[in-house]
Structures are given as structure tokens and as C-alpha cells.
Structure 1
Amino acid sequence: MKPSLAIKNEKEDLEKQVNKFHNNKMFKKRIKLLFTFIVLGNFGALVAQETKLESGKEYILADVEVSGKSQYSEQTVVTFTGLEKGQKIMVPGEDISTAIKKLWKLGLFNDVAFYINKVEGDSIYLDLHLNELPKLSDVKIQGVKKGKAEELIKDTDLKKGKIVNENLLTTTKNYIENKYKKDGYYNAKVNINTIQDTIDSQVKMVVGIDKGDKVKVKSIDFSGNNEISDRKLRRAFKNTKQKNPIRIFKRSKYIKDKYKEDLVSVIDKYKENGFRDARVVSDTVSYNKEKDMIAIKVNLEEGKKYYFGNIRYIGNTVYTENQLNRILGIKKGDVYNGVLLQKRIADQSKPDGEDLTNLYQNNGYLFSSINPVEVKTYNDTIDFEIRITEGPIAYFNKITVVGNDKTNDRVIYRELRTKPGEKYSKELLIRSIREIGQLGFFDAEAIKPEFKNVDPQAGTVDIEYSVVEKGSSQVELQGGYGSGSFIGTLGLSFNNFSMRNIFKKDAYKPLPMGDGQKLALRLQGSSYFRTYSLSFSEPWLGGKKPINFSTSISHSRQYSYNYSTSNVDKSQSFSITSLTVGLAKRLKVPDDYFVLSQSVSFQYYALSNYYTGLFTFGDGSSRNLTYTVALSRNSKGFNPIYPTYGSEFTISGKFTPPYSLFNGVDYANLGDKEENKQRNTGDSYFNDNGNWVPSGSYLDSNGDAVATYQQAATDQGKVDQIKFNWLEYYKIKVKADLYTTIYDKLVLRTLGEFGFMGAYNQDRGLVPFERFYLGGDGMANYSLDGRENIQLRGYQNNSLSPINSSGSQIGATVYNKFSMELRYPITLSGAASIYGLTFLEAGAAFADFSSYNPFTVQRSAGFGLRVFMPAFGLLGIDFGHGFDAVPGSTTKSGWQTHFIIGQQF
């Protein structure tokens, strides 16, 4: 076959270039003929030759010499080409073309050419000339701040030593420009230059960024719309918003791809309202360069309004028409809604949605397909057939997990609901993702099940769960100045601990990890208090059933402290030693989201000369033995840090034994016993010494009223020591927590809480311990009276608790709290999860149930930020405004700042 004219022309051009080489003084004296391989369909070869080559003749490759710029050895390059000394080759021919293809595919060279050194009889000597692409030695980004420049370098992966080619320059330029355009910088421009470095084959890259000004959307106007208003259609634009200074969550910006999506959303809006034939006739986007504003005009054709007619099912054998109709929820005569119809067939926005596809897939029909088809249109009515192909039942075959480098396989497998041999269920697949995420050991947003070896003939499917480990241990190390003293805290929490490997030296990296157990140690102290605590939990006691075993021990000691002088009196002290053991079991009825937990706890309170008014006695001890039982249901979404759906409900009861029923103490007359008769329980009077004795005062040996509080407290303490030797009370608490996705990842959290503390024996009364303290950040701090701190932002810590006649807080026995919180994520990556929030809260605390009024509340509103990092846990800050006064004050609380450490609300 004769060469084409194009090839002939290329050959003539190459011959001219060869002649130029000959005329150039730098041209090598030895005969060196250039083979230039040009892509014309397949690689072909044009030969500009001085030495006559016989057409179609095979030559023996005598040698291949490598020249030019290459860091690789000659032997490595020649080996990679597949050419070997002594092989027979055609010149030009397929062997040479294949060698060049291989070298180009490496992406390391910008010039690959073969030369003929010489031909001796049947032997040919070739020279492979290479010119390596330069490598990146340094990157400088101009036009943005240093922090942003570093972020861009990381995002574009511009590492030192990277090959610099046209593809890298183009993709880097496009990425940066598109990134800024997505942020509203419509006119963002990027210019990239490369500069030869002092080191050969290396270049520096200079990236110049001109963001320009942000371009906002001045107006979005519609024409041709008679049935749906401009306002509703603008609302259908989810991504492209008209400029509005009061809008908070969605900024006005123009992104071409998102704008095209919004045009589809407008048509969907019409389909939701019966206008099946609605279409965009034309749209224009006008840019005003002077004002950096965009004006959008959309011309619509609405068409007429349609209604659903007859709906028939074809191919259904598993479910009846009535069963399918209950899920479909569409009746004859309803306004046509194409969006709703598609959602009821297969809701792409909700993997666990209540639709026909999930109905089948949750019952094993993985290979089923459901398609709605319009079969008849008459006047304004459309008849449909919903055609169902059920297919065979599928079963889970092989279930695997990849990516867990630290966590042992069994810790994950025991949480999976997808078991080999069981019927396929999409619901169980989604539930398994949630359970893996709830472990807290993996990046919840990166958990992905992949379908492997899907075999419709055998009716089997393999599932591979891909996970990404994240740090599961936290360190809390902080110091600060509070309450007139320096306070230091050291907390260590190991959330994926392995107790069984604690004696294995090789397991310490730095600690034995991987079995899903939790070990926590916390130390906190200042000049006047010390707190130590240690806790451990095993989520699968025995390894076969989800029974959580937990235990904790703690000890606290506080000394008398003068806040004015910062003096500590260690002769006055109060301490608590506590031990708790608990079991929690996952239930199967009503469903397996329910957990029944039980625990037994013992606290020993010891007071030594501690007359501070916190307790009703200053010397002695109290004991607190309690049994706690709780029923909870937690169906919150798969990400424990940022759940987007689900709820958590808990009702719990905490009980002490009813000692007053069997200890024989007459609590009604306890104050009149022999050891406590030195008290005036009648009217006030003048005694024989002529001194005034008030009613209720304590008497010394002369019959005079005692003036010091300490003596009075000592005498009253005799009564209280008997009354509170063993604490007696019960507590009931209810908490409901609900998460609802409003739009995209904007989540509404609604919360309600109620707590009540009661006494078995009214003559004995309520204990001064274990009460509710409302207000502030909800952090426990260092309080030693067993109190429960309830968060209510916008007020100082504990400030909403009842006060006694002397103005001292006594804690509440009843409280309620209501909260609404809007959350939106900034990032949910494995390295750090960050989200912002706004909130409305209301709550109140009461001294007793007789004064309880659920509608008398203190209100607040504000905003905040949460940051979760695996190494440090949850950190946050809230700014809350209290609209009401605290007890004992007439001035509203106003703005308060709250810092959150280690707690999630």
C-alpha cells in the first residue's frame, strides 16, 4: 500500500529538518538518522534516511544506546522498551512503535526518539534519545493568604519531586479556578508559570491567583408563569439565590453547574403541582461587570394541569395490589405529581425510605426492578402501569471488612446485621453501616458497603465494608484559673482498649488496642480540692451477646476555702468515695434499638469539721446505696458526632432502700430526743438571767441562747447524722432527643427533659445530696454533693437553682428543660468534624413538686460552634442570651459565654 499524501508531506518535512541538521555545525559527524513516530491512527514510522534501508528487510538489533536526559540507567530503559540485543526487527516496524508507546505511557518524558547510529550488513545500531520532564522543586502561590495557599497546595497535591507536565498545569489551573467560582468568585483567574531551577531537570512553579470580587445574583425573574408565583419558583432554586441581606444559611452566588440543577428543580416544582409538560423555553444569564452582579431571566412554558388516572400493577406476585397501594399512597383523581411518584417508587434522597423498591429489597429481592409507565393520556388524566420484575431472592454470601488496621475484625463483625446465608435486606445493610459508625472508631462519613460478585443466577451477593480508622483515644490536658484558684485537669480516655492484651509487651503501641473496650482516667485538682476517677467498660461481656459491663471508682476531697483571701484550711474537709457496677443489655422486643441497663452504686460521704452551710451537719458521715434502672431507645443516625436523623429516648429510675420502713427511727419526733433538748422549740421569752431567748434558738448550759452558728449546727447535726446516716430518696428522669433533616445537612435537634426527686417518708424529708442544678454549660466541674448539672445556656452555672431564705442555693427536686437547635456542618472529615449551631432553650428548677409549674421558665437563645477531633474529643463554645432574671435577682441574665469540653449536646 502506498503511503498517503499526508504521510508523504510529513516525510518531506522531516527530510528538510534532517538537511538543516546537516548544515548545522553542531550536527554529529557520525551518521544518525531520525525515526520520528507520528500518531496517525496507529503509530507509524517515517524515515529520513541517508543510509539506505532495504524496505521490508529484517535487521538484527546489535545494540541500543540511550542518550539525552534521563536519571534512569541505560539497562533499565532498554529493558522496559522490550527490545533485546540479537532480536530481529523491522525498521521501521511494530517493535519500535511498541517501544515508543511504552515510554510515552510512563508520563516521564517530553521527547522520545530513535536514531540509527549505523548499519553493518544485517546488523543495526540504534540510539534512543530521551528528554525527561522536569520535576517540581518548589511551589509559590500568590494572591491569597499563607494559610489558604498551604491548603491549595495540599488539595492539588503539588509535592516536591512531582513530574511537571501540561496535564498537571491544566488540572491545577482548572481546580483552583473552579474552587473559587464555587465560592462566588465568578471571574477568578489563575496563571501558572514554571521557572528553571538551578538544579538541572527541576522547575519552580509560581501560581498567580486573581479571585476578583464576589459576584452576587442581583435578580431572578421568570416569565410565562401564571400558575406558580415568582416567589415560589425562586424558592425552588436551592443553590442559586437572589441577593438578600437577611438570609443566613445560603449566600447569593452563581455556579454554572448548580444553576443548571436549579432549572431542573423548577421543572420538578411544576411536576409536583400537576404540570407534567412544563419546560424551560429559554434562560439568560447577564453579567454586569461594573457592579459584579448577575441577572437571571427564565422563560417558562407551563402546559396544562394533569391528574392521576388508573394505576395498575403488572408482574407482582409477592405483594398484593392493596399492599403496594398503601406504600404508593397515590389515588385516582389526585393531582399529578411526578416527583412524588418517583419517590414512592425509589426515593433516592433516603436510603431507608418507605418506597416500593425498599419494600422488595428488604425482603430479599435485590434483583427486582420497578418502572412506572404512562399507558394512556386523555384530556387531563394519565393512566399508569407500574411494571414489576421481581427476580429471584438473593442471599448474603461472603461478608468482609477492609481498612481496619487497629480494630480487631470480631469487634466489627459482631455489630453487623448482614450475615452470610441470610436473605438480602437493604434495611439490614443500612443498619450495619449505622452500627459501625456508632462504635466511634471509624470515620462515619467514609463507611461504604461495596457489592462484590453479584450473581443473579446463583442468587448471591458478597458485601465488602470499607472503613477508615480514626483516633479513638482522647487526651484532656488543661489548666486555668477559676473560683480564685488554679485548676488543673488531666484526662485520658482509651475508647478502643484491649484488656486481654494488657500483659503482652508487643501490644503496647502505645497501649493495647483493638477490642472495643473503654478505659478512662481523670485527675483534677487545685489548692483546695482533688478528684480522681477510673472507669472501664466491656460492650460484649463474654463475647457472644451485646451485654455491656461497666465499672467505675472515684475519690474526691475538698477543703474549706476562703474565696476572699484564697486561704485553704485543711482542718476542715469533705470527701466522697464512690464505686459503681453496671450491666446493660440490648433487647429484641419491641425492637433491637432498645437497651435495658441496671447499675448498683455506693457513695461514702465523710465530713470533718466542715461547717460551711453546704450540708446540715459538719462532722460525721453519710452513705448512699442506690439501684438505677433505665430503659432507652437510640436510633440516631450513623454518625454519633453529627446525627442527621433518628431519636434517643430514655426513662430511668434511681432508688435507695426505704430504710425508714424498717430501721425503727421516729423521724417525726427526732428533734425532741434526749440528746437534742437544748433548744427552745416554743415561743420567745426572757430567761431567769434576764436574757432574751428567741424561738428556735439553741441553749447553752446556763439557759442562754447560743450565738454561734457552729454550736447550733453541731447540735442540729446530731439530728441530721441520724437522719442522713443512710440516704433515702428516689429519682425519676425522662429525656427525649429527636433529630430531623430540614434540608441537605441542615439538622433540627429538639430536646425535652424532666427530672423529679422524691422521699419515701415525708417526716424524714429530702436529702441535701443528689439534687438538680440548672443553668450554664452543664459541666460537672468539681462539686462534691452528688448533684446533677443540667445545661441551660444564657445563664451562669447552677444559677437557676432554688435558693433558701438566706440566699444560698439548695438545689432543685424538680426540673424541666426544652431545647431547639439548628445545626449545619462546616466539615465532617475524619480528622475533624466541625459544625455551627443556633439554639432556643427554656427551663426551670423548683424546690419541691408543690411549686412546680412547667410553663414558668427561664428562656434563652444564642449560637455556638462545635469541633470534634479524635485526639481531644468534643470542644465547643456557645454565646447565649438569657432573657429572664435568675432566682434572687430582678435583672435579666443577658449574654453569657460557655466553653464546652468533652461533652456533646
Structure 2
Amino acid sequence: MQPKLTKILFALCVLFISSYSVAQEENDIIKNGKVYTLGGIDVTGLKSFNKQTVVTTTGLRIGQEISFPSTEISDVIKKLIGYDLFSDVKVYAATEGDQVFLTIDLKELPALSDFKIVGIKDRKKEDIIKDTELKKGKKVTESFLVNTKNYLVKKYKDDGFNNAKVTITTRVDTTEANAVKMLINIDKGDKVKVKDIQIVGNEKLSDKKIKKAMKNTKERFFLRFWKKSKFIPENYEEDLANIISKYAEKGYRDARIISDSIIHNEDNSLSLKINVQEGEKYYFGDIDFVGNNVYSDETLRKVLGIKKGDTYNGVLLKKRIADATDPDADDITNLYQNSGYLFSNVNAVEISAKNDTIDFEIRIIEGKPAYFNHVTVVGNDRTNDHVIYRELRTRPGELYQKTNIIRTIRELSQLGFFDPETIKPNIKNPDANAGTVDVEYYLEEKGSSQVQLQGGYGGGGFIGTLGLSFNNFSLRNIFNKKAYRPLPMGDGQSLALRLQASRFYQTYSFSFAEPWLGGKEPKQFSVSFNHTIQYATSYNNGYYTGNVDRSRRFLISGVSVGLAKRLKVPDDYFYFSQALSFQHYNLKNYTTSLFTFGDGFSNSLAYTVGLSRKSSGPNPIFPTTGSDFSVSAKVTFPYSLVDGTDWDALKEERDELIESGDDADRISEIDQQRFEWLEFYKVKFSGNWYTTLPKKFVLKTGAEFGFLGSYNSSRGLVPFERFFVGGDGMANYTLDGRENIQLRGYPNQSLSSADGSVIYNKFSLELRYPITLGNSASIYGLTFLEGGAAFDEFRDYNPFQLKRSAGVGLRIFMPAFGLLGIDFGYGFDAIDGTNQANGWETHFVIGQQF
């Protein structure tokens, strides 16, 4: 006869995820302290899970020994509850001799089989689904329901819907096992706006100044579209503190808010009444420095910038000690940290207040200088370590300087291989006694290669473009088959290939750049090749047919070699660059307005020298601070000074022939001689300045200038290297050295003559706002004001005679495709040959520089 089995309920019932209880009742079979062998495990109550999966999850094994009381059983309950899959867990035990048999009784949480959101527009539902993790199969817990409701209520209150109500109901889905359907009903109600704000008790500061200090809570005003009058309680509390800060800036350190009232009006608006007590105005008295040995009082006073007798400004005092809003601020804390004193501590202490004067002590604990111990980088899966470490301004054994950490962040951002928004320096293991600190740079790789694949119709035919740009290329692994993914990458080199073709032309280009030639210093070597074949259109009996005549063609071939080096003086933001370029132009029965001859050739051997300074950043796609400027000169050899040709006589002969209309062959012969070797000089300047404004806005200010000149007026200006102003500024297939200057609001190249201008200037203001600066895509909006003009002769140049425009635009940068954008510009002035404002123009931007 089978022995009698005695079942004992341990009453192991978990009521909440954060707590559980185990109840054990002694009897004459299970004894405290006795060890049993686990003879078997059964699982009951399952509806959607596999029994063996649950047994494996518990970690219990048949044959293992279990003593009572048992921590193993408690651990099993904790683990099962921790998965958020079960609402109740009970464990039953039965013994048979020295064996114990367990039964785990589970109550599964229901799964979400379907959900529905009502009360809002469909386009708003996607964000809610994403943010609340609403999805089929989600286990429906009480905490999930509460968190979802709280999130939605807060979301709409933050948008000004203070009366928003959210109801979430569930019902059993009879078509599926252990499943529920969910209905989310959202009643936003009307948006609650601030009708008026009444300030009481203020005499020293006007209502206008106090209301301006309230950054987020504004009165209803139909002309203020950039800041709505919605009421958000958290923002309102913050603005009350802002009022006190505004008084503190003006010297009223005892100012306080006695009371504030929120009045609900019948039209569902709010009226705010704020009662302030201003107190007396105070002034700075004596400011003494205590504990400073590294810097003199005089030096610290200059940095502090506050003198005895100045109006008391508590906000300014805190910023001059340590400005939390600007990591690179000119304050006393940064003064010490930029000199290695990481462990320094600076505090302003009020020591006396006599009448209206407050005396302070600036108490400084300098500590000992800190030096970098370990400097590491994490997150670079594709970029080789040496490419990163050569950009670091923080090296082991060097003195700690905060400015070097900030500069390192900028340099890593400028590489373009990492997401600039996520680069983070982690200060680790600071040891004040040893005077050492570690720093670890966290990086997230992003796509650094770009593909340009375009097709369109223009110029009488289809135009196709294929461009490949690899900005983290590795030339040394070019023969390493294992390194191809799809190309060898990781050494920070640039490789670009581009092909564009239509019925009328083909253009090919190749470029390569090594930013650290030799590997010891930032010395960039670059080389590029290009070739274009342009065909003429055919005519039949004097009529244009629109077909291609391949027997008449214009070939342009070129090569360029450049070398650029980072300088140390005046500072290491400067670069000095040099390049040598050669272009060969070959006409074969091809007539163009650039030449008077249809058969012949022209050569251009030019040397370009430039000086630039680039300190903008840290994000190269969306710079917020710093500036960029460059000045360059492109020159050829002055052949006319040494070739022995009487250019004055040739010019006179040519002018006479043109005037008489005779001997076109002789004119072509003279022009072939003039342009056999091009002779010119070209000077350019460009500058951009970036200023961070409140609310994430960035102001970009720009100026440009260009001039093309000749050494010998009798020989004349060359037909190449000219400026074409107007439009989107996008480069086209022509490789004749021309430069397309963006000036939105006007058609492309419409502000220059047909053959291009020899001098231009341009001024611009651009206000930018970041919509998102994520790794997958960076998007920002902009509004702009521009003015510029082009002239055919220097004597006509007038820098104030501008063609003006304004407009708005959008930029989207995706690592794989580069920059995409659209601008809508309005030209306020007339194009030459018209007598009215140009009006609206739409410009598309693809792959243009930032």
C-alpha cells in the first residue's frame, strides 16, 4: 500500500512585487533543520507558458538537497515574481520519507491582446504608443496601468490641458487564453491659458520687468506666437523663483513672494496674482580672498569682476564663482581647474551686512595639482584606436586642465565618426592624496560613409549621379581581404568617387586625403583627379535639333595635390594650406562663349596658399559656438613679364579687328596665344561666427568676398575661375574653376553676367533651431537674411549695393546620405533686366557644406 503523503502548505503567497511572505507550519513529518532530497517538481496554473521552461527558470534540480527552513524556496519565489509575468506564486510541499516533492502554483498575468485609444487624433496616437510601450503581448500589471495613466495626464498638463482626464479600462478577451483588451479614453478638455498676471507690492521693478523674468508663464497675447500662454504648475513654480532671482540681480537680496493666487475664470482661463515684498537695495562691500596661494588677490579680483560699491547681484556672484550653465566660462573655479587644481573648492561666504552693504569672503581650498593617470576610450568598434588617441588633448602624466577635456570633445566631434551629442568624458578615480585622476571618453560610432544616388531631368535629357564618399577609409588595408566591410575602414582617411552623366556630358572625379601624413602631427595630404567630356548640340541647316554631336567636344582634365598643416601660433586652431593644381582644357570643333576659337587648348598651372582658423563646434553639423574663417590666394606664374610678347600691340590689333569685324581667324589666333597658359590671381575671404542664444537658438553670422584679377591688363582677364552668384549655390558638372555662390531668393547664377563676375561680396544672418540631433538623423530649422552682389569690373564695385533676400529653411543630415535641405527665399530686389522684386524661390540643397 502506498505510504500516506502529507501535504503542507507553506503559505508562500506574494501580494506585492516588492514584498513577499513565507509561512511554514511544523508537523511531525517536516522538521526544522532536516535535509530532504528534491524528488520532483510540478507546476500548476499555467496557461501560456511551458512547464519545463518554468522548472528550468527556478534553478532547482531533481536530486539536490533542500533543508527547511529553505532559502532556495524563497529565492524561487523572488525570481518568478521578478519577471513581471505572474500575479501570484504559491509553493506546496509533500514528503515521502527523505524526499520532498514541490508543487508551484502560478497565477499568470493577462497579456494585452488589443488596445484602442480614443479622444485624440490618429497622428497623435503613434507617439503615445511608442512612449508607453503599448504593444500586443505586453503583460498587464497594476503598475503598468497606473504608469500609463500618470504619463498621459502629465503629458497633456505639460501642454497646457490642466483639466485633462484619462480613463483606462480592461476586459477579458474571450478569443484568446489569458488575454485582455484595453480601452484608453483621453479627454483633454480645453487648454487652460493665462489671461492676465497681476503684480502687487512692486515699486522698484516694473510689472513689465517682473513678467519678463517669468520665462515660461506668459499672459495671453495674440502676437506672441513663439511662447504660448499655457499654464503648467511646475513651470509656474520655477518662474516664481525666477522673480526672486531677478530681484537678486538688481540688489534686492531680501525680496520674497508673500503670496500668490490662481484664479479660475468663467472662460476657462486663469488669472495670476503675485504679491511681492521687495525689501531694501544692497551693495557689495569688502570682498576678501582667503586661502589663495596659487593666484594673487589682484588676479582673482579681475576674474571676479565685482568691485566694492557695485549693486549687489547674487546671481552674478554665483556665476563668477562657478557658472553651471557654461562649462567653459571665465570664472574662478575654471581658472583653478584649467591650471590643474581639480580638487580645489571655491565658496563665497557672507560675513557681515551693515546697513545696505554686504561684505564677503571668497574662501578657497586649492588642494594639490592633479595629473592624468589613465586615459581610455570606449565605444569605438570601427575606428582604430590610434585615430582617436592622436586627437586627445589629455594624456597620462599631463597636468589636468578642464579646457583640454572640452577641446578633446570638440576634436573628436570634428572627426565626423562619432555622434557629437553623446560624446561624454567620465572622470573616474579622483585621488586627492595622490593627485591623480582617470578619464574615460565614451563614444558612439555613427555612419561616416555617404552614398549619393540621384536622377533627374534637365538640360534636355536625363542626368544621373553616383557618388561614394568614405570618410573613415584605411588605405593600408587595401590588400587585406578580411578588412573589406564593404571597404577597409578605420584609419580616418577620406576617399571619394563621383560620376555624373547625361547625353551631353560625362564627368568623373576622385579624391583622397590623409589627415595625419607620417602619423606624428596633423599634416593633411590630399590628391584629386577630375575629367569632363562635354558634347555640343547638333544643328541641321541652321536649326537646333537637340541631339548630341559627339564629333564636337570640350574636354577638361585636372589634377591637384595639397598639403595642410596645423599651426601652433597664434593658436592651434589655425591651419596653413598649400596646393598645386593643373587643368588642361581641350576644344575639338567646339564653340563656346568662353573662347573665340573652336579648336585649341588652354592650360592652367596654379599655386594656392591659404590661412584658416576653425574653432566652431562642438558638433560640426550644428555648431553652437566658435568661428571659422579663411583667406586664400590662388596665383599663376606671371608669364607676360618674361615671355617677350608685346601684349599691348596684340591687344590693340585685336580691338581693331573686333571693331572692323574682319579676320575672325586672326582673333582666334591671338586668343589662343592669350589663353595657352592662363595668367591670373584670385583672392577670397570667408568668415562665419556662431553665437548661442537662449532656448537652444544659434545665430550664424557670415561674410564672403572674392576677387579675380590679372597681372597684365593688356592680356586681360581669363574666361575661367569666375564667380556665379545667386540661387542654391550647388556645384555643377563644370570643372573650369568657377564658383557658385549661394544667395537664396534668386534663380541660380542670376546675379552675375553670363560669363561670370570677377568680384563679389555677400553678408548673411541665419537663425537656427535644433529639432533633433540624434545619431540616425540631425534636423534643424532656420530663418535667414542675406545680401550680396557681383560685378564685372573692379571700378563698378560697391559693397553696399546688395541684392537682398529673406526666408526659411529646413536641414536634414543622415550619415548615409549627407545633407538634405529645402529653402524658401524671397528676393526683395529686381534682377538685371527686370523692374520688380524677384519674389519667392524654392531651393533644394543636397550634399552642401554646413
Give the aligned partner of residue 265 of structure 1.
Answer: 242
More deviation in 367-376 or 57-66? 57-66
Give the aligned partner of residue 631 of structure 1.
Answer: 611
Give the aligned partner of residue 660 of structure 2.
Answer: 697
CA contact (8 A) 1:406 1:514 kept: yes
CA contact (8 A) 1:619 1:717 kept: no
Alignment partner of 2:586 out of 606, 618, 640: 606
Give the aligned partner of residue 80 of structure 1.
Answer: 59
Q: Deviations over 1:229-256 (max 9, x none)?
A: 2222222222233333333433333333
Q: Deviations over 1:596-633 (max 9, x none)?
A: 11111111111222223243332211111111111111
Give the aligned partner of residue 337 of structure 1.
Answer: 313
Deviation, 1:659, is: 0.7
Give the aligned partner of residue 835 of structure 1.
Answer: 780
Cα 1:733–1:368 shift into 2, 3 Å: same
Deviation, 1:535, is: 1.0
Alignment partner of 1:657 out of 593, 614, 637: 637
Unaligned runs of 5+ in 1: 1-28, 682-694, 701-711, 804-808
- Any residues of structure 2 matched to 1:579-590 within 5 Å, and which? 579-590=559-570
Task: Measure the CA separation in 1 of the matches of 2:502 and 2:120.
Answer: 46
Q: Deviations over 1:186-221 (max 9, x none)?
A: 344444444555443455555444444444333233
Match status 1:517 vs 2:493: yes
CA contact (8 A) 1:83 1:95 kept: no
Task: Measure the CA separation in 2 of the matches of 1:322 and 1:125.
Answer: 83
Deviation, 1:524, is: 1.5
Cα 1:832–1:723 shift into 2, 3 Å: same
CA contact (8 A) 1:534 1:552 kept: yes
Match status 1:236 vs 2:213: yes
Match status 1:728 vs 2:671: no
Deviation, 1:126, is: 4.2
Task: Measure the CA separation in 1 of the matches of 2:471 and 2:123.
Answer: 33
Q: Which residue type is aligned with residue 358 of structure 1?
A: N
CA contact (8 A) 2:33 2:67 kept: no
Task: Measure the CA separation in 2 of the matches of 1:610 and 1:833.
Answer: 45
Q: Which residue type is aligned with residue 400 of structure 2?
A: Y
Alignment partner of 1:900 out of 829, 833, 845: 845
Task: Measure the CA separation in 1 of the matches of 2:676 and 2:641.
Answer: 15
CA contact (8 A) 1:82 1:99 kept: no
Cα 1:79–1:571 shift into 2, 3 Å: closer
Task: Measure the CA separation in 2 of the matches of 1:895 and 1:75.
Answer: 68
More deviation in 572-581 or 726-735? 572-581
Alignment partner of 2:572 out of 592, 597, 600: 592
TM-score, normalised by the number of residues in structure 2: 0.93
Cα 1:613–1:553 shift into 2, 3 Å: same
Cα 1:210–1:527 shift into 2, 3 Å: farther
Match status 1:857 vs 2:802: yes
CA contact (8 A) 1:59 1:124 kept: no
Task: Measure the CA separation in 2 of the matches of 1:356 and 1:240.
Answer: 34
Give 3-state SS (helix, strand or coil) of 2:11's partner.
Answer: strand
Match status 1:246 vs 2:197: no
Q: Deviations over 1:369-403 (max 9, x none)?
A: 10101000011111000110111111111111111
Alignment partner of 1:745 out of 696, 714, 729: 696
Give 3-state SS (helix, strand or coil) of 2:772's partner.
Answer: strand
Alignment partner of 1:280 out of 245, 252, 257: 257
Larger Rg: 1
Cα 1:727–1:899 shift into 2, 3 Å: same
CA contact (8 A) 1:81 1:100 kept: no
CA contact (8 A) 1:585 1:595 kept: yes
The count of corresponding residues between Structure 1 and Structure 2 is 837
Q: Which residue type is aligned with residue 259 of structure 1?
A: Y
Task: Measure the CA separation in 2 of the matches of 1:160 and 1:316.
Answer: 64
Task: Measure the CA separation in 2 of the matches of 1:127 and 1:370.
Answer: 64
Give the aligned partner of residue 686 of structure 1.
Answer: none
CA contact (8 A) 1:496 1:518 kept: yes
Task: Measure the CA separation in 2 of the matches of 1:503 and 1:775.
Answer: 46
Cα 1:411–1:211 shift into 2, 3 Å: farther
Cα 1:723–1:779 shift into 2, 3 Å: same
Cα 1:57–1:664 shift into 2, 3 Å: closer
- Any residues of structure 2 matched to 1:85-484 within 5 Å, and which? 85-90=64-69, 96-117=73-94, 125-136=101-112, 140-144=116-120, 148-158=124-134, 161-196=137-172, 198-288=175-265, 291-484=267-460
Give the aligned partner of residue 826 of structure 1.
Answer: 771
Q: Which residue type is aligned with residue 734 of structure 2?
A: S
Cα 1:750–1:459 shift into 2, 3 Å: same
Give 3-state SS (helix, strand or coil) of 1:249's partner.
Answer: coil
CA contact (8 A) 1:520 1:535 kept: yes
Give 3-state SS (helix, strand or coil) of 2:92's partner.
Answer: strand
Q: Deviations over 1:74-105 (max 9, x none)?
A: 78458437997543213xx7665454334333
| Identity %, equivalent residues | 58
CA contact (8 A) 2:758 2:791 kept: yes
CA contact (8 A) 1:81 1:102 kept: no
Give the aligned partner of residue 568 of structure 1.
Answer: 548
CA contact (8 A) 2:66 2:72 kept: no
Deviation, 1:639, is: 0.3
Q: Which residue type is aligned with residue 794 of structure 2?
A: F
More deviation in 80-89 or 739-748? 80-89
Task: Measure the CA separation in 2 of the matches of 1:136 and 1:395.
Answer: 56
Give the aligned partner of residue 708 of structure 2.
Answer: 757
Give 3-state SS (helix, strand or coil) of 1:354's partner.
Answer: coil
Q: Deviations over 1:246-298 (max 9, x none)?
A: 3343333333323322222221111111111112222233445x745333332
Task: Measure the CA separation in 1 of the matches of 2:301 and 2:102.
Answer: 77
Deviation, 1:37, is: 5.0
Task: Measure the CA separation in 2 of the matches of 1:521 and 1:738.
Answer: 32
Task: Measure the CA separation in 1 of the matches of 2:199 and 2:211.
Answer: 9
Task: Measure the CA separation in 2 of the matches of 1:726 and 1:181.
Answer: 73
Task: Measure the CA separation in 2 of the matches of 1:876 and 1:385.
Answer: 54
Deviation, 1:579, is: 0.7
Q: Which residue type is aligned with residue 800 of structure 2?
A: F
Task: Measure the CA separation in 1 of the matches of 2:98 and 2:591.
Answer: 113
Q: Which residue type is aligned with residue 850 of structure 1?
A: R
Deviation, 1:409, is: 1.5
Deviation, 1:321, is: 0.4
Cα 1:875–1:98 shift into 2, 3 Å: closer
CA contact (8 A) 1:492 1:520 kept: yes
Give 3-state SS (helix, strand or coil) of 2:508's partner.
Answer: strand
Deviation, 1:498, is: 1.4
Cα 1:30–1:201 shift into 2, 3 Å: farther
Q: Which residue type is aligned with residue 485 of structure 1?
A: G
Cα 1:145–1:831 shift into 2, 3 Å: farther
Deviation, 1:107, is: 3.0
TM-score, normalised by the number of residues in structure 1: 0.87
Give the aligned partner of residue 789 of structure 2.
Answer: 844
Q: Which residue type is aligned with residue 661 of structure 2?
A: Y
Alignment partner of 1:868 out of 797, 813, 825: 813
Match status 1:71 vs 2:50: yes
Deviation, 1:680, is: 5.7
